[in-house]
Copies of this chain bind each other. A is one copy, B any other.
Amino acid sequence: MAKTNKNKDTEGQILNAAENVFQKKGMDGARMQEIADEAGINKAMLHYYYRSKQLLFEAVFTNAFSLLAPQLNKILNDDSSIEDKVKNFTHNYISFISKHPYLPNFIIQELNRNPKFFEKIQQNAAFPTLEKFKTQVTEEVEKGILKPIDGEQLFINIISLNIFPFVATPLIKGFLKLDDKGFKQLMEQRKIAVSEFIVNSIKK
């Protein structure tokens, strides 16, 4: 039933299927049988390749985060100005997430369920840190490029504005009375609207 089975090998098929099911239903809601059905194989194979539901889930989770991490690095560790980073990140991130709509909610939800998972993703090679971004904000404020603002708060603001609509999609669609198409259009507009909104606020 899986649409995009790039992998011919069983192990990859399982991971693909597990991604679909876990990201839609979460650890608690997912069923091993459903993953097996989606992969078109016997349930015992899941255990043959991944031992347990927990381990299969962890494979999916770290995999998911390693997709997201490089996106965050673009705003945190790129060399351009804050203004340019905001513009680029907003544009790129919304494009990226439109292709992986379940990703942010999945990660946030499972991190809420078990905050210790954060340690697991921290081991990721590309794990992003805030340091550079914070000093850069301080510098640009001192140089008079930006209005005074705390780097941490700005970081939270940027990711809030970009990520939240994709986490709370049903809520937004409900309040704004949008169907799938309308929501997509609105997110398309946000590529510019959000960066304008941020730049308007911080640029001197």
Residues of A within 8 A of B (CB): 25-26, 28-29, 105, 107-109, 111-113, 115, 118, 122, 128-130, 147, 149-150, 152-153, 155-157, 159-161, 163-165, 167-176, 186, 189-190, 193-194, 197-198, 200-202
Contacts and interface: CB of A to CB of B under 8 A. Distances in A.
A129 to B, nearest CB: 8
A112 B153 contact: no
A161 B157 contact: yes
Contact of A175 (B108, B130, B194): B130
Given A25-B28, A28-B26, A112 B170 contact: yes
A190 B152 CA distance: 11
Given A25-B28, A29-B28, A111 B171 contact: yes
A165 B175 contact: no
Contacts of A122: 174
A156 B165 contact: yes
Please tell me how many copies of the chain the complex holds: 2
A112 B173 CA distance: 11
Contact of A108 (B25, B171, B193): B171
Contacts of A198: 201
A161 B157 CA distance: 6
Give the top 9 A-B pairs by smallest Cβ distance, nearest first.
Answer: A201-B201, A160-B164, A28-B28, A28-B29, A118-B174, A115-B170, A200-B201, A164-B164, A111-B170
A161 B163 contact: no
Given A26-B28, A200-B200, A201-B200, A156 B171 contact: no
A23 B175 CA distance: 22
Given A28-B28, A164-B163, A157 B111 contact: no
